[in-house]
Structure 1
Amino acid sequence: MKKTLFAATLLAASFSAGAADTMLKFPIAGAMAANNAQSRLGDSVKFYFAGQPTPPVTSTVITDKTSQRTNSFGKPAETACNWVFLSAMLALQKRAQDVGANAVVNIVSNFNNVEMASATEFECAEGAIMAGVALKGDFVKIAP
């Protein structure tokens, strides 16, 4: 019984330690160069971060967001954040395909619903055991 209580207390402490996330900024270009991100995303859906010029938008389908987390225990912050950035981008891609959009524009970091707009950087919450990236964007159809 004491071992179970100790293990539960230790587990709860480790989760609460992750609650004090440090907000870090990393280059989008670096994340797109890591983990075969560019090839894994392909070109069926185009992505444009806030401030980047976009082709003409023919229609806006929906505005939506994603929030992804990954285990960061024992990993350098940039490695974990680049990995979870790719997960967030893949989630945006899937959502775009599901709603019939061929682009996501005005993408901003949106951790805890606090927007950070940048054409060159994304924001990542780095905690003791988890890293998280939240993105928000407009799912649109652009001219071919």
Structure 2
Amino acid sequence: MRYRTLTGSMMGLALAGLMMTTPAQARDTTYYLPFKDVLSLPQAREKLDPSIRLYFGNQIHPEVEARHNGYYVDRKTSSVTKTDEEACRWVALSALIDLQERARFVGANAVTNISSYYNKQEYVDDNKYECHAGNVVAGVALKGKMVTLPVQ
């Protein structure tokens, strides 16, 4: 009888302990950061193709000669050894490189109307993009229209 009472008490304490613990909260901090900081990275000057022009938000661009459909990229990067802003710049650069690679693949020489598209929620800004930073990962999703513009 004493064994049952002790076991029941221990089970009750264990259950109470489980009920009092809360699951770890995953962090998801939203940032709206300037594209200019991404474009000024040394890696951007090395990896972005100047022959494929980038137009953000509703920036004015020359008249479109041909349309090659839109494209969407969703990139993530580790933020373990970086600040949130560093991770956001790095992953935004990766997304811009992907947009340019798609433009090249479809025969376009520009990407227009580049906007954030995180969780399929559009954020349009001529100067800023949306980035989400968590405990170990940062993510940027961009979409844009692949077009051919007159050669400058």
Give the TM bin, normalised by the shorter chain.
0.7 to 0.9
Among residues 23, 38, 42, which one is paired with 2:49 in the alignment? 42
Among residues 37, 43, 49, which one is paired with 1:30 in the alignment? 37
Within 2, Cα distance between the matches of 1:35 and 1:111?
26
Write the letter of the residue equivalent to 2:115.
V
**Moved beyond 3 Å, runs of 4+:** none
Which is worse superposed, 67-76 or 81-90?
A: 67-76
Identity of aligned residues (%): 38
Unaligned stretches of 5+ residues in structure 2: 1-22
Greater fraction of residues in strand: 1
Q: When the two structures are aligned, how many residues end up with a matched partner?
A: 129
Once the two structures are superposed, the pairs formed by residues 46-125 of structure 1 within 5 Å of their partners are 46-125=53-132
The two structures, once aligned, show a CA RMSD in angstroms of 1.6
Structure possessing the higher radius of gyration over alpha carbons? 2
Check conservation: 1:92, 1:104, Cα contact below 8 A. Answer: yes
Write the letter of the residue equivalent to 1:125.
H
Unaligned stretches of 5+ residues in structure 1: 1-12
Which residue of structure 1 aligns with residue 17 of structure 2?
none
Check conservation: 2:49, 2:100, Cα contact below 8 A. Answer: no
Q: Please report the TM-score for the alignment, with normalisation by the length of structure 1.
A: 0.84
Shift of 1:56: 1.2
